[in-house]
């Protein structure tokens, strides 16, 4: 087992889709500038002490990243310790063999830091682009996830499915540094996808965009499904939109115009975001993390109480937020948010353990007292019989 194979404690990281939101004049962020900003975010996160960096995949004019593994390979050469993941790889429209080879290469380049996050894709632009039938949306993902896991776990591999030609004793190279390349499943709220992750013994990401409480049943379903399949439930990660500043007002006032632009242009299904709705989303029980470090800590801990997750990924720099503000937010996540979250969780764990010990001692004492009382009672009964 390598160091990368070890199960860590609570982790905090950042990710981006590399969106090219237009400014007030209608000019989109240049793609080359955006990719340079992504590299700056990654190196800052690595230096500051965050745990994970991820990039997503889109095939649209308003996003700069269509190949996460290529961008992450560049990040690997500019960083030293941070783990590198796709967020997500649209596996339904990818070749699983090639996907594994690319991420195994990334793992070699990064010294064992690569991960794959597989998803069906919230948008469908990749299907016609790669000549695929949307009516087979679910079939493509099931079939190709099966092959990806087989290629990861077996070499050579023999496989047959329904969405690509079979493999017969095929070798897939190179192999990664890690003994088992991590594969996570990303879910937006579909119970069937949650059950799939639990059944296959894969860690799960919950992409929280609505009320966080509605994801609690999904977390329970994941763990229940894993246990029913004979597995110890795996890790749960949470992803959310995030901006942190020194004060709540500074965070929200700075972030709002850029975030509203992102929602309106890059997530048009939601529609226009007014300030009142923005503030409601950023409230203590809302899904948006826009506030001071203390507010962000409190919300992470509250979500942890209802979800039990061990990884939190913050989507940063949304809507063309200036580089300086994004870098400051990353620094605050690393230096003020993450240490306090870990401290609070460690304290809670210690208190729970101590409570368990005290309860066990109390129960042991009660059992001992009961046994002594029973012995005394039996002795009295026996003495009375003898005296008769």
Beta-bridge mates of residue 187: 206
**What length is written for the chain?**
388
Q: How confident is the model at residue 312 (pLDDT cuts 50, 70, 90)?
A: very high
Nearest to 14 by CA among 183, 285, 239, 206: 239
Residue 344 lies in a domain: yes
Residue 342 lies in a domain: yes
For residues 296 and 337, the answer to whether their CB atoms sit within 8 Å is: yes
Q: How confident is the model at residue 121 (pLDDT cuts 50, 70, 90)?
A: confident
Residue 142 lies in a domain: yes
For residues 255 and 242, the answer to whether their CB atoms sit within 8 Å is: no
> In degrees, to the nearest 5, what angle opens at C-alpha 82 toward C-alphas 79 and 88?
105
What pLDDT, on the 0 to 100 scale, is given for residue 293? 98
Alpha-carbon distance of 30 to 15, in angstroms, equals 19
Residue 377 lies in a domain: no
| CB proximity list for 43: less than 8 A, separation 6 or greater | 75, 78, 79
Residue 7 has pLDDT above 60, yes or no: no
Mean pLDDT of 360-376: 51
Beta-bridge mates of residue 312: 12, 238
Residue 262 lies in a domain: yes
Domain extent at residue 246: 3-354
Mean pLDDT of 159-188: 97
Alpha-carbon distance of 23 to 269, in angstroms, equals 20
Q: How confident is the model at residue 5 (pLDDT cuts 50, 70, 90)?
A: very low
Residue 388 lies in a domain: no
Residue 26 has pLDDT above 70, yes or no: yes
Residue 249 lies in a domain: yes
Residue 280 lies in a domain: yes
In the structure encoding, which two tokens stand for residue 50, read together? Answer: 């965050």
Among left, alpha and beta (phi > 0; psi -120 to 50; other), residue 54 is beta
pTM: 0.90
What pLDDT, on the 0 to 100 scale, is given for residue 388? 41
Residue 373 has pLDDT above 60, yes or no: no
For residues 88 and 121, the answer to whether their CB atoms sit within 8 Å is: yes
What pLDDT, on the 0 to 100 scale, is given for residue 365? 53
| Number of independent structural domains in the chain | 1
Alpha-carbon distance of 44 to 82, in angstroms, equals 10
What pLDDT, on the 0 to 100 scale, is given for residue 349? 79
| Sign (positive or negative) of CA dihedral 160, 123, 234, 5 | positive
Q: Where are the alpha helices (DSSP H) in 2-156?
A: 31-48, 68-78, 96-110, 126-129, 137-153
* CATH code: domain of residue 71: 3.20.20.30
Alpha-carbon distance of 287 to 215, in angstroms, equals 11
Of 30-34, 123-127, 195-199, 361-365, give the lowest mean pLDDT range: 361-365
> In degrees, to the nearest 5, what angle opens at C-alpha 251 toward C-alphas 248 and 254?
140
Place of tokens 């499915």: 161
């Amino acid at each position: 087992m390598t160091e990368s194979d070890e199960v860590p404690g609570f982790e905090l990281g950042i990710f981006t889709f590399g969106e090219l939101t237009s400014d007030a004049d209608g000019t989109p962020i240049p793609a080359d500038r955006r990719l340079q900003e992504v590299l700056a975010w990654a190196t800052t996160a690595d230096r500051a002490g965050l745990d994970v960096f991820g990039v997503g995949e889109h095939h649209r004019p308003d996003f700069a990243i269509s190949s996460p593994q290529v961008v992450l390979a560049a990040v690997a050469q500019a960083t030293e310790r941070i783990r590198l993941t796709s967020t997500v790889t649209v596996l339904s429209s990818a070749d699983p063999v090639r996907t594994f080879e690319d991420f195994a290469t990334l793992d070699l380049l990064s010294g064992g830091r690569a991960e794959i996050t597989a998803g069906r894709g919230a948008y469908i632009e990749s299907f016609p682009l790669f000549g695929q039938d949307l009516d087979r949306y679910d079939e493509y993902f099931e079939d190709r996830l099966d092959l990806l896991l087989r290629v990861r776990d077996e070499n050579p591999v023999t496989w047959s499915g329904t969405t690509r030609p079979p493999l017969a004793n095929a070798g897939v190279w190179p192999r990664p540094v890690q003994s088992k390349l991590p594969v996570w499943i990303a879910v937006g709220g579909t119970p069937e996808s949650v059950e799939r992750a639990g059944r296959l013994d894969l860690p799960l990401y919950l992409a929280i965009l609505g009320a966080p409480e509605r994801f609690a049943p999904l977390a329970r379903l994941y763990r229940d499904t894993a246990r029913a399949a004979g597995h110890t439930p795996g890790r749960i990660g949470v992803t959310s939109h995030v901006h942190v500043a020194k004060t709540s007002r500074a965070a929200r006032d700075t972030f709002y115009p850029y975030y509203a632009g992102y929602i309106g242009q890059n997530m048009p299904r939601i529609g226009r975001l007014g300030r009142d709705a923005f503030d409601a989303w950023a409230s203590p029980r809302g899904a948006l993390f826009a506030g001071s470090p203390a507010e962000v800590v409190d919300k992470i801990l509250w979500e942890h109480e209802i979800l039990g997750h061990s990884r939190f990924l913050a989507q940063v720099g949304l809507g063309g937020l200036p580089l300086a503000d994004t870098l400051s937010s990353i620094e605050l996540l690393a230096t003020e948010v993450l240490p306090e979250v870990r401290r609070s969780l460690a304290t809670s764990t210690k208190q729970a353990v101590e409570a368990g010990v005290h309860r066990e001692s109390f129960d042991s004492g009660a059992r001992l007292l009961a046994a002594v009382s029973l012995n005394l009672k039996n002795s009295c009964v026996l003495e009375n019989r003898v005296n008769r």
